Amino acid sequence: MNIRALWATFKFAVFTVLLILCALLLHGLSREIDIRTAVVYTAPTVVIDAGHGGEDGGAVGINGCIEKELNLDIALILRDLLTASGVNVKMTRSEDIMLYDAATPGKKKIQDLKKRVEIGEENEDSFTVSIHMNTYPSSKYSGAQVYYSPNHPDSKALAETVQGNIKAYLQPDNTRQIKEATSAIYLLHNIKNPAILIECGFISNQSEAELLCRDDYRHKVALTIYSAVIDHLNKEV
């Protein structure tokens, strides 16, 4: 391992420890405020959307990994980190399912996407973080990238924070820029509350697919997103 790689590993280790300490401190502080002052603090709700699920497996990686499984694992880790910090969290799914009513006529996929939009708009002050994996016919492409909804100005600000933290803490060589979502991304195109979609990496790229199949790397991805969400919430206070 070269010096640059060692330094990056050291920085991330320090970053991880600090995040955990902050999470514990924030959680303890929120408990103390609730108990001693009985003040109810209303914070924004973070809606975590694990893309795909159930019959919809999403993309299949070059190494056979299934997108829906990677999405859900990162989403659950992110949920636990935010919950430990006293943040209100709502999941679109916390298990391997599609979101549709079998008794309702119509395509399952459309029902599923509409339900995710509905969940993202249930709370007026919520914002949505959707977790996905990228794929491309050529295996040479890699790197996480964040898309944002054009329907609310806070979406772009959140996307910039997440993309910046990805470069700072996870992928120092990542030069990708945030992108405004088009109608091709149904959730971001239709939701009215702030929302972003994070393509956590290309599972069509051999080395990135192998990383995303590792528990420790998925934890790093979740921690990086967590840090950006906390930064965003602090700006909102």
Q: Work out the number of other CB atoms within 10 angstroms of the CB of residue 33.
A: 14
Q: What angle do CA 124, 128, 149 make, to 5 degrees?
A: 95
In this prediction, residues 103-116 reach a mean pLDDT of 94
Task: Report pLDDT digits (tens) over 141-180.
Answer: 999 999 999 999 999 999 999 999 999 999 999 999 999 9
- DSSP line for 93-113: -SSS-----TTS-S-HHHHHH
CA distance 236 to 44: 9
Domain assignments of the chain as residue spans, ordered by start: 42-236
Q: Among 35-39, 180-184, 231-235, which is the least confidently predicted range?
A: 35-39
pLDDT at residue 235, rounded to an integer: 87
pLDDT at residue 171, rounded to an integer: 98
Q: In what order do the strands lie in the sheet with 195-202?
A: 88-91, 45-50, 127-134, 195-202, 145-148, 179-180
pLDDT at residue 41, rounded to an integer: 40
pLDDT at residue 39, rounded to an integer: 34
The gap from C-alpha 79 to its chain's centroid, in whole angstroms, comes to 9
CA distance 184 to 69: 22
In this prediction, residues 36-53 reach a mean pLDDT of 72
Between 28 and 106, the more confident residue is 106
| Average of per-residue pLDDT values in the chain | 88
Task: Check whether 1 has a pLDDT greater than 70.
Answer: no
What's the CATH code, domain 42-236? Answer: 3.40.630.40
Task: Report pLDDT digits (tens) over 82-95.
Answer: 999 999 999 999 99
